[in-house]
Amino acid sequence: MKVLRTPDKCFENLKDYPFEPFYTNIQAKDGTSLRIHHIDVGPKDGPILLAMHGQPVWSYLYARMIPILNKSGIRVIAPDLVGYGKSDKPSSRDDYSYQNQVDWMGDWLKKNDFQGLTFFGQDWGGLIGLRMIAADPDRFVKVAMGNTGLPYNPNTPQEVISEIKEFRDSNKKLTLLTMLKEVVKMDEGSLSGDKNKKKHVATKFMYWQKFTWDTINLPIGMVCSMQMERSSKFAGLVHYALQRLGLETTSPFYTDLMKAYEAPFPNATYKMGPRAMPSHVPTIPDESLEAQRKAREFFKTSEKPFLSVFAGDDPITNGVEMDVLKMAPNAISADHIGGGHFFQWTRPKQLSKVLIDFIKE
């Protein structure tokens, strides 16, 4: 396995990210050493929140929440998934899979021997983290999740499966705008269990899967900015035009947030993780099916306090919460707090309060 490591200089002068880095070396199945980064901030004797990010972001996503959580006496541990942030980045598409991410982060967890954790995961942080909890439950005392799920789709109609596979393999060219036009329609269905072909969310999510894989220099900074910042339509059009020309860093509207989310990727070769992982979301049956079933069975019988906290205005996951509540019968559903998909950034005070109350109750 060939592994890339982002130079430290790429992370210099990031706004609102003053945290000391911690590194853990684990071994992949082929013997390759992988260095995983995490931050560990707050009182050492306080209750611990393990906060896991998704795709295509990194632990920077929690930068606004950490001071609020620390002030309440909560210690925050936030890792970067392999392929993201300050963690190492395998360079081949074949290096990435759902199971590999679960194994890598599970090894990271064991090597650090963290105990007494309250978990919070969003997006891929939830998909991976929930599997970690099911595999090593004694390290966790409480579980919280938002804008994520544990998809399990054994009964997806064959015509839907065929449509998705044919679309992914097609020569159809997608732009950022044509992709977004379809992905927002995910609000019409659920990531698990909708057998209606017209509403099956996988036929919308496939646009994100294809766009991320086909776009060699994925515009991560711009994608994140569109979901986390307010900007004028004119600014968006200028930046989009420059991005299409490969000149996005020259845009007069290149913000601090864009810089932070592009920082882990000095060039396109570093972006294999964000490009590859969307195709491993199990919206249709794949090699993760049995592992997903076993993890869901764990949560059906688990007595660990479980909190479901969703934005409620995120078209990617709006239909997911009902499946989460079905999977975990003891789950409590918090009020929707808004903020879209990355509500850690857009609703830091509201989300922090929900988690503080859950941890301390």
Residue 123 appears among annotated catalytic residues: yes
**Cβ atoms < 10 Å from Cβ of 342:** 20
Distance of CA 220 to the CA centre of its chain: 13
Q: What CA–CA distances, in Å, run from 279 to 3, 33, 62, 226? A: 21, 25, 25, 22
- Among candidate residues 80, 88, 103, 314, the one labeled active-site is 314
Q: What CA–CA distances, in Å, run from 275 to 56, 208, 326? A: 8, 10, 31
In this structure, are residues 357 and 72 in contact, taking their beta carbons and an 8 Å threshold? no
Beta-bridge partners for 52: 121
**Cβ atoms < 10 Å from Cβ of 356:** 19
Please report, to the nearest 10 degrees, the dihedral formed by the alpha carbons of residues 251, 254, 259, 261 taken in order: -100
Q: What CA–CA distances, in Å, run from 138 to 149, 195, 263? A: 21, 36, 35
- Among candidate residues 53, 200, 280, 341, the one labeled active-site is 341
- Among candidate residues 80, 95, 103, 123, the one labeled active-site is 123
How far apart are alpha carbons 111 and 105 in whole angstroms?
A: 10
Beta-bridge partners for 145: 121, 308
- Enumerate the active-site residues: 123, 314, 341
